[in-house]
C-alpha cells in the first residue's frame, strides 16, 4: 500500500529530553511537511522540505529540527528548547513541482511530555 | 488566517445526503477550493478539490458557484463513519510547497 507512516502513534517523554518523530512516505513525493495541532485548534506549520537536503522553517520552527537525507524520510526532532512540546504532530507530503500538489497526511504522533 | 467561513456544526441522518457549505468570498482567480476531513485523533484526510467546475470522485461531490464565492461538499449517502470535522480550504495550486491553513471547520455528526 502507498502512503505515509508515522511512528510511534503515542510517545511519552520526560521534560528536558529530545525526542525524534519518524515520518516515511512511499508515494515518491518530493515535498514533505511537519505540522503541529493543539486541542481545538488548526494546524500550524513547523518545517517543510521541497527536495532532498533542503528544508525551510515554517511558522513555529523554534525548538524543532529536521533533516532530509532521503526522499522518503523526514524526521522531526523536538528539542528541550521547545517550551510546550505536548501536541499532536502530523506529517504530510505532496508532489513538487506540480499542478496538482495536494498534501496527504500521515496518521499522526501524539507526544506527551511529562 | 483562514479565508473561509463554515458553520460550526451540522447533523445528518445516516443514508441521507450531507451538504456542507463553505463561503470564500475573497477567493482569487488562481485559488483552488480543497476539502479535508479529520476524524478524532487521526490525520486529516483529503477528500476533493476544484477550481471552477464541479468535481466528483468516489468520496464526494464538490459544487462551486459560478462566481466562486461559495461551494458545497456533498456526501451522497452518509454513513456513521463520515462523522468528522470537515475543513474547507482555499489555496493557490501548483505553486510549490506551502502551508495549509485550517479554520475551525464544520463538525458533522451522522445520526443512526
Q: Residue B74 burial by CB count (10 A; 0-12/13-18/19+): exposed, middle or buried?
A: middle
DSSP string, B44-111: -EEEEEESSS-EE-SS-EEEE-TTSSEEEEEETT--GGG-EEEEEEEEESSS-S--------EEEEEE
Burial group, residue B107, by CB count within 10 angstroms (0-12, 13-18, 19+)? middle
pLDDT in tens, A77-104: 999 889 899 999 999 999 876 666 789 9
Residues 6+ apart with CB under 8 A from B96: A31, A50, A96, A97, A101
Q: Which of A82, A92, A40, A30 is nearest to A61 (CA)?
A: A82
B34 contacts A102? CB cut-off 8 A? yes
Q: CA of A109, closest CA in chain B: separation in Å?
A: 9
Cβ B97–A48 below 8 Å, yes or no?
Answer: yes
| Minimal Cβ distance to B42: which of A42, A50, A108 | A108
8 Å CB contact of B45 and A99: no
Chain B nearest C-alpha distance from A3 (Å): 12
Residues 34-73 in A contacting B (C-alpha not used; CB under 8 Å): 35, 42-43, 45, 48-50, 56, 58-59
Q: Which candidate from A92, A99, A104 shows the least CB-CB separation from B94? A: A99
For residues A111 and A87, what is the distance between their CA atoms, to the nearest angstrom?
A: 6
B11-34 average pLDDT score: 94
Per-residue model confidence (pLDDT) at position A1: 55
Q: Which residues of A touch B102 (CB under 8 A)?
A: 42-43
| pLDDT tens, position by position, A35-78 | 999 987 888 999 999 999 999 999 999 999 999 999 999 999 99
**Alpha-carbon distances of B75 from A25, B36, B100, rounded to whole Å:** 28, 13, 23
Amino acid at each position: 500500500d502507498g502512503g505515509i507512516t508515522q511512528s510511534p502513534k503515542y510517545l511519552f517523554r520526560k521534560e528536558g529530553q529530545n525526542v525524534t518523530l519518524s515520518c516515511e512516505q512511499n508515494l515518491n513525493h518530493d515535498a514533505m511537511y511537519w505540522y503541529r495541532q493543539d486541542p481545538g485548534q488548526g494546524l500550524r506549520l513547523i518545517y517543510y522540505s521541497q527536495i532532498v537536503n533542503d528544508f525551510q522553517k515554517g511558522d513555529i520552527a523554534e525548538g524543532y529540527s529536521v533533516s532530509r537525507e532521503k526522499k522518503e524520510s523526514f524526521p522531526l526532532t523536538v528539542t528541550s528548547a521547545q517550551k510546550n512540546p505536548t501536541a499532536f504532530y502530523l506529517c504530510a507530503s505532496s508532489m513538487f513541482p506540480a499542478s496538482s500538489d495536494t498534501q496527504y497526511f500521515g496518521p499522526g504522533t501524539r507526544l506527551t511530555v511529562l | 488566517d483562514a479565508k473561509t467561513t463554515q458553520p460550526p456544526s451540522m447533523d445528518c441522518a445516516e443514508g441521507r445526503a450531507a451538504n456542507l457549505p463553505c463561503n470564500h468570498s475573497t477567493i482569487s482567480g488562481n485559488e483552488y477550493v480543497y476539502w479535508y476531513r479529520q476524524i478524532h485523533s487521526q490525520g486529516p484526510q483529503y477528500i476533493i478539490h476544484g477550481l471552477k467546475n464541479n468535481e466528483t470522485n468516489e468520496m464526494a461531490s464538490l459544487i462551486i458557484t459560478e462566481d466562486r464565492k461559495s461551494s458545497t461538499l456533498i456526501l451522497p449517502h452518509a454513513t456513521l463513519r463520515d462523522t468528522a470535522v470537515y475543513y474547507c480550504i482555499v489555496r493557490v495550486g501548483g505553486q510549490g510547497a506551502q502551508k495549509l491553513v485550517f479554520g475551525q471547520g464544520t463538525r458533522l455528526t451522522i445520526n443512526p
